[in-house]
Amino acid sequence: MWTLAFLPFEIDPMMASIVAFIAVFGGAVAAIFMMQDASSKEIEDRLDVLSGKKKAKTKDNQVTREALVKESVQGLAGFSEKIMERFTNIRLLFVQADTAIRPEVFFMIMVLSGAVGTAFAVAMRAALPFYPLVFVICAILPFGWLMFKRSRRFKRFGKQLPDAMELVARALRSGHSLNSALKVVVDELSDPISKEFNIAFEEQNLGIPIEDALKHVYIRVPNMDYKFFAMAVAIQRQSGGDLAEILDKIGRIVRDRFRIMGQVQALTGEGRISGIVLMALPLALFVAVWKLNPEYVMLLFTDELGRKMVAAAVVLQVIGAYTIKKIIAIKV
């Protein structure tokens, strides 16, 4: 128990931590809902103006029908530049992972996950310094799931790409146009490549040039092999040439790369397992010693030298993980 200088009564550190967490969490949720309400109100006002339900106001700080039309035209003109700027936007991660969860909802899931993990640590009577660490680790778990889902979708897209290129090449040889060849890929192959090619097909039907539609696919799925495909299409549209033969050669090269990558994965398997063991061993030993003798381990958090040792150990772990990853990461 401890006492603040300006308070005449004692405060339980556990209760203070819980109250502070509830206050911060409640403020974050309130801010999210306020932003959602403001955004929804603005969208409803715009729709009412366009549908004629609400009179157009002529003040400079109000939206009018003419201003909306002008804004739409300018937005279409600068679409390609804006979509490149949004590459670093967090919302693009959800598009790339093909999940319908909104970023604000996902943030709440992360906070709730951290709160559940902290509550479990309290129920297990863990030491107080572990609570922030448990909260951060549990809050990061949903983000790790999102990145895993995104990475798995990218890998599936890459594996389907050679089949898609050969299918487009055969469709071109049989007399189809490039646009209809994309539709053949949509009909014959499965998700995710069918979904991405269907988006490109619909975009070019709406008037977007096929080269730009394929570039938009690369923004959603940044695959280097697909970039070669998009560049080949753009060059062929400008200078001509046998696109079917080019796609056959690219597809053959991609298949050879996958074969070599499989061999590299087999040869570097021992290094990857060694890296996992070396990274997990200190944590496992820490947990084991903490279970056997908690007071011995708590010196690392209560003593100044112990905290410095923990910080140095974390930095060395990160450096070691990065070094091992660079050693076993062989580019093909």
Q: For residue range 78-90, what is the model confidence (pLDDT) as tens digits?
A: 444 444 444 446 7
The answer as to whether 251 is a domain residue is yes
Q: In this structure, are 143 and 168 located in the same domain? A: no
Q: In this structure, are 147 and 157 located in the same domain? A: no
Mean pLDDT over 2-7 rounds to 44
Q: State which residues form the domain around 128.
A: 13-35+69-151
241 confidence band (pLDDT: 50, 70, 90): confident
Q: In this structure, are 249 and 318 located in the same domain? A: no
As a whole number of angstroms, the distance between CA 196 and CA 186 comes to 8
As a whole number of angstroms, the distance between CA 86 and CA 208 comes to 19
322 confidence band (pLDDT: 50, 70, 90): confident
Mean pLDDT over 49-71 rounds to 51
pLDDT of residue 62: 46
The CATH number of whichever domain residue 224 belongs to comes to: 1.20.81.30
Q: In this structure, are 113 and 128 located in the same domain? A: yes
Structure tokens at 296: 């011995």
pLDDT of residue 16: 55
User: 128, 151, 174: which is the final residue of a domain?
Assistant: 151
pLDDT of residue 38: 46
The answer as to whether 4 is a domain residue is no
The model's pLDDT over 85-105, given as tens digits with 9 standing for 90+, comes to: 444 467 888 888 888 888 888
Q: What is the DSSP string of 66-103?
A: HHHHHHHHHHHHTHHHHHHHGGGSHHHHHHHTT----H
Q: In this structure, are 323 and 197 located in the same domain? A: no
Place of tokens 């549209």: 237
As a whole number of angstroms, the distance between CA 273 and CA 259 comes to 21
The answer as to whether 63 is a domain residue is no
Q: Decide if pLDDT at 153 tops 60.
A: yes
The answer as to whether 44 is a domain residue is no
Q: In this structure, are 269 and 243 located in the same domain? A: no
The answer as to whether 6 is a domain residue is no
Q: Containing H/E element for 10?
A: strand 10-11
Total domains present in the chain: 3
As a whole number of angstroms, the distance between CA 300 and CA 165 comes to 57
pLDDT of residue 25: 61
User: 213, 234, 256: which is the final residue of a domain?
Assistant: 256
pLDDT of residue 28: 58
On whether the CB atoms of residues 89 and 105 are closer than 8 A, the answer is: no
As a whole number of angstroms, the distance between CA 287 and CA 291 comes to 6
pLDDT of residue 66: 52
Mean pLDDT over 229-248 rounds to 84
In percent, how much of the chain has pLDDT > 90?
Answer: 5
Q: In this structure, are 216 and 109 located in the same domain? A: no
Q: In this structure, are 295 and 266 located in the same domain? A: yes
Q: Decide if pLDDT at 34 tops 60.
A: no
Q: Containing H/E element for 11?
A: strand 10-11
Q: In this structure, are 185 and 272 located in the same domain? A: no
Q: Decide if pLDDT at 252 tops 50.
A: yes
Q: Taking the CA atoms of the chain, what radius of gyration do you get in angstroms? A: 28
The answer as to whether 230 is a domain residue is yes
The model's pLDDT over 285-299, given as tens digits with 9 standing for 90+, comes to: 888 888 888 888 888
The model's pLDDT over 120-146, given as tens digits with 9 standing for 90+, comes to: 888 877 667 777 888 888 889 999 899
Q: In this structure, are 214 and 315 located in the same domain? A: no
On whether the CB atoms of residues 186 and 196 are closer than 8 A, the answer is: no
Lowest-pLDDT range of 27-41, 255-269, 317-331 = 27-41
User: 256, 275, 308: which is the final residue of a domain?
Assistant: 256
3-state DSSP of 191-218? CCHHHHHHHHHHHHHCCCCHHHHHHHHH
Q: In this structure, are 159 and 85 located in the same domain? A: no
Q: In this structure, are 183 and 266 located in the same domain? A: no
Structure tokens at 324: 């091992």
In percent, how much of the chain has pLDDT > 70?
Answer: 72
144-155 as b/e, with b when 16 or more CB fall inside 10 Å?
eebeebbeebbe
Q: Decide if pLDDT at 109 tops 80.
A: yes
pLDDT of residue 154: 92
As a whole number of angstroms, the distance between CA 210 and CA 200 comes to 7
Candidates 201, 220, 219, 221; CA nearest to 210 is 201
Q: Could you tell me which residue, 37 or 274, shows the higher pLDDT?
A: 274
Q: Decide if pLDDT at 58 tops 50.
A: no
pTM score, whole prediction:
0.61
